[in-house]
Amino acid sequence: VPGADAVAAAQCTAHDYTDPGKPRIAWNDEQARTELVDALVTDALRLLGHLPDEQLGEKAANAVGILALVAGQDIEPAEDSDGRDGRWRITRGTAPGRMVSTVDPEARHVHKTRSHQQDGFKAHLAIEPETGLYTAVALRPGAGPEHHEAAVGLELLADEDTPLDAFGDTAYSSGDVRQALHEAGHRLFIKPAPLRPAVRGGFTLDDFAIDTTAALVTCPAGHTVALSDPGGQHHQRKASFGNLCTGCHLREQCTKAKAGRILTIRPHHDIQTAAR
């Protein structure tokens, strides 16, 4: 970027930016890391604010845009800041769709746990199992609902004009995918996602008698309540047992909620139940 080196030398003091190594701090010192983050963000904002006001070429404009994005995507005002004093800290949590590489700006987090981290893209493959031939492929960013296996999986089979036996793991087991594949005439051999009980070792959704047509739900103790109409962004239905849980001999296996057990029923409940 024309003039950026001179601006950095005059305005940026958090680090010797001619040194390609990491800033020299005690990295095991949380306070030192906090102060460094604040100083680096301040430097970036100073640099952006003092760049010469001139028309930039594509490469320079991209560099400025990346700096602005990286400096702001995981940052929030410091804990005791009023939001206007220019003090910063790393956001508690992760910004959705955050840029993870300045070298490959389109790469995203694919998966992240304490034991496993992976960034980049996902390859989605449709394979004919008897011959091992790839029948369709797609390369997508690692994050975002539109790039999830369930969404891309339907695209991989969109050009198939005859019914198939579709095999897949739980990533392809959403209700939308199951309904779409059923309607297309395919037979499904897709592993259903496991149910998680509200109480460890307790009752799951399948322990309740759920009649979506009659809009009634009966719990393992024999109490029956009405199922609400679909509502909200995801058109979910609710069954609330409320005071019926008070004094119930099965409560310890069912819920810890003071207001009693509430079931959430998703639009494709019957399809998912049949799959399990």
Per-residue pLDDT tens listing for the chain (276 residues): 888 888 888 999 898 888 888 898 999 998 999 899 999 999 999 999 888 777 788 888 888 888 888 888 888 888 888 777 888 888 877 666 777 777 777 777 776 566 666 777 888 999 998 999 999 999 988 777 888 888 898 999 988 889 999 998 898 899 999 999 999 999 999 999 899 999 999 999 999 999 999 999 999 999 999 999 999 888 999 999 999 999 999 999 999 999 999 999 999 999 999 999
Q: How far, in Å, CA of 143 to CA of 107, rounded?
A: 9
Q: What is the pLDDT, as a whole number, of residue 132?
A: 92
Q: Which of 152, 182, 148, 151 is nearest to 166 (CA)?
A: 182
Q: What is the pLDDT, as a whole number, of residue 108?
A: 73
Q: How far, in Å, CA of 123 to CA of 137, rounded?
A: 7
pTM of the model: 0.62
**Strand duo 237-240 + 224-226: pairing:** unpaired
Amino acid type, 263 = L
Q: What is residue 227's DSSP assignment?
A: P
Q: Which phi and psi (to 5°) does residue 32 adopt?
A: -65, -40
Q: What is the pLDDT, as a whole number, of residue 111?
A: 64
Q: Which phi and psi (to 5°) does residue 176 adopt?
A: -60, -45
Are 219 and 241 contacting, i.e. CB atoms less than 8 angstroms apart? yes
**Strand duo 165-168 + 133-141: pairing:** unpaired
